[in-house]
């Protein structure tokens, strides 16, 4: 059933002006392309600072695109303005790591969840209240909790309530930005099960952003790996996790403890390079154990990987074949 979200050559640029200095131009998202099929969950992973959140925000036009297009349900979101943008926004929602981004600490949760219903659907107080009770039950809580304040809930419950608000207007597309990252592991699993149930029930499509690869694996149909503003690998979750093709993906995965894996942990040396001064050529060259001359000259183009997806690495065309090998078989 085709892509709901189609991102082509998207770049997002920030100009950070510091006193008396020339503005630093940071290409937070650098020429990325990917798509998300209707009803699919696309996991976006990478270290903090890699551009994941900016990508999510650009998809909802919460930050402007410097180049490229973002087509959601047939409309190029980057070109929408005014009323058309407000209408499109109703069908695209975001769930943040911090539930207080959407729940007002000084209001009852009913008031926070009802707000979009009153603003966008012009529901009366009574109709909004009935819908709020329904939404609170949909996320696995009691309707009678509606008149409580956010501080009266656990972190997991607060995140359920933030999800209730996000789905209030029946969105087709939801960006979850580190939505479970602040929760303990068992609560994470419960909230992920909830998101999965809502997706199946309402045909939702998710962009699921997380720095923790273990979280993303089980909820995602396909994943994309970001590094320094670029997507370096995409593919079906199973293929990327069992046979990662990019040296960065392999390093990230080798950091997840797995007693069945025999290979050594690949330690990523150093930090992300300064995004205002990215290296010429492959963005990962300063931390890659396989760097070749060509890596310092040209940005690798995406090439198809056996088992599905694409990888952007010169090893695919100019080096010994490592791509597609099981993680356990790698040096």
The closest residue (CB) to Mg ion is 53
Among positions 234-263, residues that touch ligand SF4 (CB under 6 A) are: 247
Query: Shortest gap between Cβ of 8 and ligand SF4 (angstroms)?
Result: 22
Tally DSSP H helices, then E strands, for the chain.
10, 12
Q: Which of 162, 282, 323, 327 binds ligand SF4 (CB under 6 A)?
A: 282
- Site size toward Mg ion (CB under 5 A) is 1
Which of 210/295 has CB closer to ligand SF4? 295
**What six digits make up the tokens of 188?**
């994470």
Alpha-helix runs per DSSP H in the chain: 52-59, 82-90, 109-121, 125-138, 155-166, 185-202, 213-219, 237-242, 247-254, 315-318
Contact 52, 228 (CB under 8 A): no
CA-to-CA distance for 276 and 143, rounded, in angstroms?
Answer: 49
User: Whose structure tokens read 């089980």?
Assistant: 218
Residues 46, 116, 229, 300: which binds ligand SF4 (CB under 6 A)?
300
Regarding 53 and contact with Mg ion (CB under 5 A), the answer is yes
- Binds 292: which of Mg ion, ligand SF4, none (CB < 5-8 Å by kind): ligand SF4
Q: Are 228 and 268 a contacting pair, CB within 8 Å?
A: no
- Alpha-carbon distances, residue 95 vs 7, 74, 101, 286, 325 (angstroms): 20, 23, 8, 34, 35
Q: Which does 53 bind (CB under 5 to 8 A by kind): ligand SF4, Mg ion, none?
A: Mg ion
300 binds, among ligand SF4, Mg ion, none (CB under 5 to 8 A by kind): ligand SF4
Site for Mg ion contains 93 (CB under 5 A):
no
Instruction: Provide the 3-class DSSP secondary structure of residue 267.
Output: coil
113 part of the interface to ligand SF4, by CB under 6 A: no
CB of 258 to ligand SF4, least distance (A): 22
Of 139, 166, 195, 313, the one binding ligand SF4 by CB under 6 A: 313
85 binds, among Mg ion, ligand SF4, none (CB under 5 to 8 A by kind): none
Task: Look at residue 254 and give its three-state secondary structure.
Answer: helix
Binding site for ligand SF4 (CB under 6 A): 247, 282, 284-285, 288, 290-292, 295, 300, 313-315
């Amino acid at each position: 059933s085709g892509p709901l979200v189609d991102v082509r050559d998207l770049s997002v640029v920030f100009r950070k002006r510091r006193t008396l200095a020339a503005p630093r131009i940071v290409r937070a998202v650098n020429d990325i392309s990917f798509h998300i099929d209707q009803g699919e969950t696309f996991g976006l992973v990478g270290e903090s600072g890699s551009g994941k959140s900016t990508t999510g925000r650009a998809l909802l036009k919460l930050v402007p695109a410097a180049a490229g297009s973002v087509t959601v349900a047939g409309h190029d979101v980057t070109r929408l303005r005014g009323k058309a943008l407000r209408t499109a926004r109703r069908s695209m929602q975001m769930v943040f790591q911090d539930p207080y981004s959407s729940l007002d600490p000084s209001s009852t949760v009913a008031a926070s969840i009802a707000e979009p219903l009153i603003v966008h659907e012009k529901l009366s107080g009574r109709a909004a209240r009935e819908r709020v009770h329904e939404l609170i039950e949909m996320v696995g809580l009691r309707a009678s909790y509606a008149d409580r304040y956010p501080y009266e809930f656990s972190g997991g419950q607060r995140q359920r309530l933030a999800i209730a608000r996000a789905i209030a207007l029946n969105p087709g597309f939801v960006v979850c930005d580190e939505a479970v990252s602040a929760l303990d592991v068992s609560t994470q699993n419960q909230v992920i099960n909830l998101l999965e149930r809502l997706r199946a029930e309402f045909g939702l499509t998710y962009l699921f952003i997380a720095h923790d690869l273990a979280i993303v694996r089980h909820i995602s149909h396909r994943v994309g790996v970001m590094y320094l503003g670029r997507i370096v690998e995409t593919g079906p979750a199973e293929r990327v996790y069992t046979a990662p093709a990019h040296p960065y993906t392999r390093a990230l995965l080798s950091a997840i403890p797995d007693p069945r894996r025999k290979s050594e942990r690949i330690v990523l040396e150093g930090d992300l390079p300064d995004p205002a001064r990215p290296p010429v050529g492959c963005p990962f060259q300063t931390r890659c154990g396989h760097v070749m001359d060509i890596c310092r000259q040209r940005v690798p183009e995406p090439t198809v990987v056996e088992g599905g997806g694409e990888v952007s690495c010169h090893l695919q065309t100019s080096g010994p074949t490592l791509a597609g090998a099981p993680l356990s078989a790698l040096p």
